[in-house]
Amino acid sequence: MRILLIHSDYIRFEAKKKAIKDAEKIEKSCGELENVLVVFIAVEKIDEKNPGSVVKQLIEDIKETVKKVDAKSIALYPYAHLSSSLGSPSSARKILDLTYEGLKDEFKTIKAPFGWYKSFELRCKGHPLSELSRTILPEGEEKEKVSEALKAEKKLKSYWYILDLDGRLIPVKKFNFEGHENLKKFVDYEISKVRAVKEEPPHVKLMRAHELVDYEPGSDPGNLRWYPKGYLIKNLLEEHVSNMVFESGGMQVETPIMYSYDHPQLSKYLDRFPARQYTLEAGGKEYFLRFAACFGQYLMKQDMTISYKNLPLKLYELSHYSFRYEQSGELVGLRRLRAFTMPDMHTLVTDMDQAKKEFLNQYKLSLTWMEDLELDYEVGIRFVRKFYEENMEFAHELVKLVKKPVLMEIWDEMPFYFVMKFEFNFIDTQDKASALSTVQIDIENTERFDITYVDENGKERYPLLLHASISGSIDRNVYALLEHAYIEQQKGKKPMLPLWLSPTQVRLLPISDEFIPLANEISDKLERERIRADIDDRNESIGKKIRDAERGWVPRIIVIGEREKTGNKINVRIRESDTKEMSLPALIKEIREKTENFPFKPLPLPKMLSRRPRFV
């Protein structure tokens, strides 16, 4: 069963025309309620296996939500559009009727007629819990392996605060968000826990229009195809984060993507991590696809001989690929995928003092990453309460580094395997937050996997473990870059990617075929200086060539004509500013200064635009 719960000021509906032959007989065609929890319901085939179970769960869910949002009434509204796997009309009517009977004596409840085309009007209240979605399965039925941690996460009691620059822990309801509008959006998103999207976000159109990434109809949803320009951007991001990790002492390894459910330590870890798994069977055994590089690195460390002199010890993997069986309503574009690339580092440390030192170093690395991508972000820090009370100054130090208030989530008990973590979150055009960089302090898994080191007295001890992804998912970073560009465009600025990530950094526009040799000569000089330059040699007007380059977000555009052939100066259209007259050496110096600390790869497509195929 799929349900959508909306807390509304009111709902009004009217039955217009029968939609099916066995439509429900009605005495009244209209209905209206105020301060109402509207429950849109799609009954699915799987519900027919145990209708009593889904009715019981639905009633409990509705009652719990009514209490949370303080609604005064309930409207049950059959809504087939929530699912593509609908149950039979008779089953759906039975489940709806039983749900109504289970609520009507305790709450003012109405049920919209089943099997009718209806007009309806409602006004959502707009608070963090006003829009919620759920999937309900009959008892004993699961579409994928669900960890105990994921089940526990639904029941988890969180306390939400803002930690400000003065070190004050302020309940979110009492914090003044004036001047911190993005932080408010982040808070609302985290508290509501609504991850499903209602409409296609702007980056999906952009990723296709720029021929970067696309859906793959031949695969499972959430597994995408990358075109040459998108693959270039992805590769540059991968190389940059890998270089950052190497420079901080990380040692790169590679581990399998598939593991056995029969492995006792791995199966226990699965139950401590809130993620859904892909599963498969082979040779009579059941396997799962990894959701991170943890598994292989745990087993590798288990077999290593480690001394206190080796700590901190960092293993790093650029995992192509990691897999999570995300729910279908959450899958859209690059924001949330089922197959993704995750740079994953695990650091062994001797004790909590060393853990906090490494945590701080990796926090600073993540700050550098966000600056290199030129992205705005909000910070979320999550603590077990006892650990926070013992480390308040440490938490305050993290806030001072980002120079702005952060969202704090505190738990009374440890729901997972870590005592604290942080994430840098990007807020998109739909006010949804997506975690990019993240680090966790893990106090469980070295003992679970029997990972030990020998201390200075020759005794075996269990180290602590830090999980870090300095960038987060590479795919999600591309989403953030595209959404950020769209946000900038809405502010009246020209959308663009950072110069080091632009597939074409300089485009040369010869005004006629006569000047193509000169354009070639200039592009060769730029390529020797590790600058990606292409040539628009098509039989088009200069005006159209300029417009196409602008639409392609090309950061530097040069028209090549008689003036460029005879003079030492060229006019360069600089995307983030204006046209500027400069020499070719000056242009090279300007680009190199802005890109010298970043990796470089050559053009991903033929230099001549006339030779390029269309991918979309």
Q: Which of 129, 24, 16, 119 is nearest to 69 (CA)?
A: 129
Q: Write the DSSP symbol of residue 452.
A: -
Q: Which of 79-83, 340-344, 489-493 comes out lowest in average pLDDT?
A: 79-83
How confident is residue 149, by pLDDT bands cut at 50, 70 and 90?
low
Q: Which of 303-307, 410-414, 477-481 comes out lowest in average pLDDT?
A: 410-414
pLDDT at 72: 95
pLDDT at 129: 79
Domains for the chain: give ranges and CATH numbers: 2-143 (3.50.80.10), 159-256+291-482 (3.30.930.10), 499-611 (3.40.50.800)
How confident is residue 497, by pLDDT bands cut at 50, 70 and 90?
very high
Compute the average pLDDT of residues 350-369: 98
pLDDT at 196: 65
Tell me how many degrees the CA angle 143-149-155 measures, rounded to the nearest 5: 95
Q: Higher confidence at residue 127 or residue 411? A: 411
Compute the average pLDDT of residues 102-117: 94
pLDDT at 119: 94
pLDDT at 121: 94
pLDDT at 144: 47
Compute the average pLDDT of residues 521-537: 97
pLDDT at 568: 86
pTM score:
0.77
Instruction: Tell whether the model's pLDDT for residue 319 goes beyond 70.
Output: yes
pLDDT at 140: 60
pLDDT at 193: 73
Compute the average pLDDT of residues 205-217: 95
Q: Could you give the residue ranges of the DSSP H alpha helices within 128-227?
A: 148-155, 181-192, 202-209
Q: Where are the beta strands (DSSP E) in 253-363?
A: 258-260, 276-277, 279-282, 285-289, 313-323, 339-349
Tell me how many degrees the CA angle 499-500-504 measures, rounded to the nearest 5: 70
Compute the distance between CA of residue 123 and CA of residue 137 in angstroms, rounded to an integer.
Answer: 29
How confident is residue 142, by pLDDT bands cut at 50, 70 and 90?
very low
Return phi, psi of residue 136, to 5°: -115, 130
Instruction: Tell whether the model's pLDDT for residue 32 goes beyond 70.
Output: yes
pLDDT tens-digit readout, 155-198: 678 999 999 999 999 999 999 999 999 999 999 999 887 766 66
pLDDT tens-digit readout, 268-291: 766 665 567 788 888 888 888 998
Compute the average pLDDT of residues 370-398: 97
CB atoms within 10 A of CB 174: 8
pLDDT at 21: 85
Q: Which of 115-129, 161-175, 532-546 comes out lowest in average pLDDT?
A: 115-129
Tell me how many degrees the CA angle 452-455-461 measures, rounded to the nearest 5: 35
Query: What percentage of residues in the chain have a pLDDT greater than 90?
Result: 75
